[in-house]
Amino acid sequence: MSISVVEKAKNWLTDSFDADTRKEVEILLKEGNEKALTEAFYKDLEFGTGGLRGIMGTGTNRMNIYTVGMATQGLANYIKINFKDIETPKVAIAHDCRNNSRLFAKTVANIFSANGFYVFLFESLRPTPELSFAIRAFKCQVGVVITASHNPKEYNGFKAYWNDGAQLIAPHDTKVIDEVRKITDPSQVQFKPVKENIEMVGEEFDEIYLEQLKSLSLSPESVNRNKDMKIVFTPIHGTGVDLVPKVLKKYGFTNIINVPEQDITDGNFPTVKSPNPENADALEMALSKAEETNAELVMATDPDADRVGIAVRDRDGKFLLLNGNQTGAILIYYLIRRWKELGKLKNKEYIVKTIVTSDLLTDIAEKYGVEHFDVLTGFKFIADIIKQNEGKKHFIGGGEESYGYLAGEFVRDKDAVMACALIAEAAAWAKDQDKTLYELLIDIYVEFGFYKEKLMNLEKQGKEGAEEILKIMHDLRENPPTEINGSKVTFVKDYKKSISLNMENNKSEKIELPSSNVLQFVLKDGTKITVRPSGTEPKIKFYVSSKGELLSAADFEQMNKELDNKLEKILKFFNK
């Protein structure tokens, strides 16, 4: 066993730690479980550009009140340095449904209060996007939400937000990391709260947020005509349980069907393998309820309600799960089309998507004369474009393939509460034209081209897994493929080096985006493959997108099979 691991573990036997923590460490040392000790102590849980995320438990590489506390102290120190002219800086704090989330949120609130901050702490679990909204509404300098999004139940996280309601970007992200690294021991953390500095935020604020969401409605007449449309919604045990049904009712929908077993707030997520709306099994109970009730639309949000997965009925009446690109295409098409029909397009509008999100969104924007931006993966980069254009241009909407969407400018993170309302409204609008959302999607494919995407996640757990992910990226970067599935690689885009290399003439161009550990291969037939390590999970991700011409809706099934086979072959190339 590594001597450094043992020494780090012994450091947790001092009076800086509570008795229960010391006892757990003593047991680990006594049992001599090398793997458990190594995973808990081989490194410090890294405060990355988005904050902390990790498995809960005792140790420097785990989420607990001490690692959360030290991160909070470092963040508080940076805010005081950066806003030194503000005598009493303000912070908003929220949390999701996970085990220990309330404990961590109160710990964060106590530390900020002890550091002279005025704290707005939500009285109970709330969606992450409401935290983003609260930062701007309360004019806070900083915000924190305790969540691990859709990760398995063992995980929790700490996400930091700036005063614009968006997650940290340069230069603040790395500067906060520097301050957090200066906090090396819990004795440096001010844990004792100043209770008069903490204000609880309750349901009255929810109403303000919901009214803002209602202001985004574009088709109230369509909703009124189809208000009894049957919609099944599940929060998958998470924070969407209250506000999603409320916003749907505010929009005018009257027939919202819940899944009682999944309305129970539970950080163990007992009814699913993983609380991730990207996964089909997470929607099984909702789909069963939809069949039982003859519903038309199924929606499921992740634990912190910033992402939504949906299912719609196909031409045979069977439910089909849409992927994040398909839902995003429907939403962007609906928003732009309605802005056009309502005379709201004034040549100052734009959308934003990430580089791994379907170019179908770009094609839709271009046809309607709407400007479009591509950004790195992460909603903070979408938020940054909104900030840059604030007061000059109008943000219609944006999204990413990982089921996150946004409209309007008052929230600066992906918002599934908002997305659920607008998706349901789009379904009502389509129904007014005797179409389902599925039929609307096929119409979009016929008009703009059939884009098909697939995502492959290779999970690599622990220290060895992290090293393997680094090796995969290194090998692809140093020895990129020249041909994939019979098609030549024409461009290799290295976002870490900020270089796009034309493989045919060996000429390179600078990529005008921040550096990021992402590789992209563009094939001669137009197929695009993107590879990147996940920033929040022990995974390396392979995104592949290809396009075919769909002459009519009748050709959909055949084209779907052809593209599906093509994408499978490409993914096998990377998973030998």
Catalytic residues: 149
CA pair distance 284, 270, nearest whole angstrom: 13
Instruction: Confirm whether 43-201 and 209-448 share one CATH topology.
Output: yes
Q: 43-201 domain in CATH 3.40.120.10?
A: yes
Q: Where are the domains of the chain?
A: 43-201, 209-448, 451-574
Whose tokens are 């045990």? That residue is 237
- From the list 260, 217, 285, the residue with the least C-alpha distance to 424 is 217
Output the CA–CA distances (angstroms, integers) from residue 282 to 195, 286, 308, 416, in the order listed: 40, 8, 11, 16
The predicted structure's pLDDT at residue 443? 97
Residue 180 · residue 47 · CB < 8 Å: yes
Q: Give me the count of residues in the chain.
A: 576
Integer Cα distance of 445 and 194 in angstroms:
58
Q: Name residues whose C-beta falls within 8 Å of residue 235's C-beta, 6 or more positions apart in sequence.
A: 241, 244, 262, 263, 300, 301, 303, 305
Give the CA-trace dihedral at 438, 443, 448, 453, to 10 degrees: 20
Would you call 457 helix, strand, or coil by DSSP? strand
Phi, psi of 532 (to 5 degrees): -160, 145
Cβ burial 177-190 (10 Å sphere, 16+ → b, else e): bebbeebeebeebb
Going from the first residue of the chain to its last (576 residues), give the mean pLDDT of each consecutive group of 10, the final group possibly shorter.
83 94 93 88 86 94 97 98 97 98 98 98 98 98 96 95 96 94 95 98 98 98 98 98 98 98 97 94 98 98 98 96 97 98 97 97 97 96 97 97 97 98 98 97 97 92 87 95 95 96 95 94 95 85 95 95 96 90
What are the C-alpha distances in Å from 329 to residues 350, 370, 448, 484?
15, 14, 11, 27
With CA atoms as reference, report the closest residue to 548 among 415, 408, 451.
451
Euclidean distance between the first and the last CA atom of the chain, given in angstroms as a whole number:
33
Query: Which two three-digit tokens encode residue 379?
Result: 């909603």
The C-alpha atoms of residue 274 and residue 144 are separated, in whole angstroms, by: 24
Contact 160, 142 (CB under 8 A): yes
Q: What are the angstrom distances between the C-alpha of 236 and each of 248, 416, 418, 423, 428?
A: 17, 13, 17, 18, 24
Contact between 100 and 84 under an 8 Å Cβ cutoff? The reply is no
Chain CA centroid to CA 300, Å: 14
Alpha carbon distance 533, 510 (integer Å): 22
- The confidence score (pLDDT) of residue 535 equals 73
Q: Which CATH number fits domain 209-448: 3.40.50.12780, 3.40.640.10, 3.20.20.70, 3.40.120.10?
A: 3.40.120.10
pLDDT of residue 460: 87
Scan for tokens 């990413």, then name that residue. 400
* Calpha distance 421→214 (Å, rounded): 8
Q: Which fold has domain 451-574?
A: TATA-Binding Protein (3.30.310)
Question: What's the predicted TM-score (pTM) here?
Answer: 0.94
**Which pLDDT score is estimated for 400?**
96
Q: For residue 465, give the H/E element and its range.
A: helix 462-478
Number of Cβ atoms within 10 Å of the Cβ of 89: 21
Q: Please answer whether residues 164 and 413 qualify as being in contact, where contact means their C-beta atoms are separated by less than 8 angstroms.
A: no
Q: Return d(Cα 328, Cα 391) in angstroms, integer.
A: 25
